[in-house]
Chain A
Amino acid sequence: MPRKTLVRRRVAFAALVLTALVLMSVFFREPATGVLHSVQRTGFDVLSPLQGLASRAVQPFQDGYRWTKDLLHANRRNREMAAELEQLRGQLVLLEEARQENERLKAMLELRDAEIFPKGSTFVTARVIGRSPTRWQEWVEIDKGTADGVALNQPVVGATVPLDKSLSGKGLVGKVIAVGEHAAQVQLIIDPESRVAAVVQGTTERPQGIVEGMVPGKLIMDYVDRDKVVELKRIVITSGFGQIFPKGIPIGLVESVGEEDVNIYKQIEVRPFVDFSTLEEVMVLTNPVIVGEKLEDMRSVAPQQDMGTGSR
């Protein structure tokens, strides 16, 4: 390249760089009404109608482009949303479960204040976490133990929602027969080994007897004098004489009354208030008010049992 051309180019380069810098400097220093701003505004005024027209003209193409783009993404988005939906469904199930549990626990708290169970009773609510493997025994395992104030032979009652004045689901469940630090075994009243002193309400005679469990999961009230009148649908409650269950805990309703010539007692079938097959939460009466002997005395007599798992 000739030297003259090279020099001329360098001079032009320096001059244009300088001009650009001066323009920039002037632009920043001048007011909004300055020359450069005015030129820019004029250019804007000239070009903006063109841009407006172009914008309207291009709009259908832009829409078409966006539509195509959306269509291409639709399948992927659909898969993502399907996966998200499944995840949300899973969360919904968990939330529904939590809501129901919350409702049950709330009802149990309210039940504590209701006058269904003996006055002065205090409760420990517990969840059923295990069941007897066969119908030959009827027991459940709960998630509360000595650490929560649960002790041997404490009565256990049902706590089923909805909370209302009915006794359905709120009757006697059984008693604690083994206890660990954080779990306990509850013998249900339908267990063949269970015995509960009971009385039939509703008549002046108030016939008394022993409610026993029978395979498969029935309740029979035995040792009721034959000369006592027992009406159907009467409520059977604990009598408090068994030294374990306080007086007044509802057990069930008289379902049928049987008499045999060879038997000096009536045999009464009792339909329990508690549905043992769907038992989920229970309440352990931790300070049952016993008629007669003190519970502490009874506890000292009761055999000490562990929560051994070897027998299960």
Chain B
Amino acid sequence: MIPAWLADKGRLVLALVLAVVLQTIVTSQLPILGVTADLFLLLTVLVAIARGAGVGLVFGFAAGLTADIVFLEPVGLRTFIYLLVGYGVGWYVEEFGLQSAWMVVILAGTASLLSQAVYGLFQFITGSAGGLLAMTRLQILPAALVDGLLAAPLYLGLVRLRLLPRPDAGDPSFR
């Protein structure tokens, strides 16, 4: 018999592995609006929504570190951003609740927008990117839209796979 806490953490690890596979095989091959969805970020947001700031923080760290390795980017950068996202989204949901299903979309879109902005700012500071305004138009806003729209179906999929709890399980205000 597997202990509950281990099964719980196992599910999160499984979700992360699934994200690596899907990101590598599917998402990166199918750009939408010129950008590809960031499943690591989405997963961080969804875990934070479902499990709160504490788990969101740790999961964001793990997902960001994985993303740094998978995306071949400076190790620590996405780690830093995603742990902030996980903590921030978890804190918001703990404080204000998840009023409606649209909040999943809005939170994912906002998290994507902010993380992309921070990432873009870092690129701008290190001088390794083009114009920030051009990148806002070509990358940041489309990515936020795509991530936001993909959040809801991904959430439902993860719930159906029992990798995440039902969104309304602990929140009576959720509709």
Contacts and interface: CB of A to CB of B under 8 A. Distances in A.
B38 to A, nearest CB: 16
20 contacts: A12-B58, A16-B83, A20-B61, A20-B76, A23-B76, A24-B80, A26-B76, A39-B69, A39-B75, A40-B72, A44-B69, A50-B21, A50-B25, A51-B25, A51-B28, A57-B25, A58-B29, A62-B29, A62-B30, A65-B30
B26 A17 contact: no
Nearest to A61: B30
Contacts of A61: 30
Contact of B54 (A9, A24, A55, A57): A9
Interface in A1-58: 1, 5, 9, 12-13, 16-17, 19-28, 36, 39-40, 43-44, 47, 50-51, 53-55, 57-58
Nearest to A18: B80
Contacts of A65: 30
Contacts of B61: 16, 19-20
Contacts, number: 82
Nearest to B78: A20
Contacts of B69: 39-40, 43-44
Given A51-B28, A54-B25, A16 B57 contact: yes
A24 B30 CA distance: 30
B58 A16 contact: yes
Interface of A: 1, 5, 9, 12-13, 16-17, 19-28, 36, 39-40, 43-44, 47, 50-51, 53-55, 57-58, 61-62, 65
Interface size class of B (residues with CB under 8 A): 20 to 34
A43 B29 CA distance: 18
B80 A20 contact: yes
Interface in B131-149: none
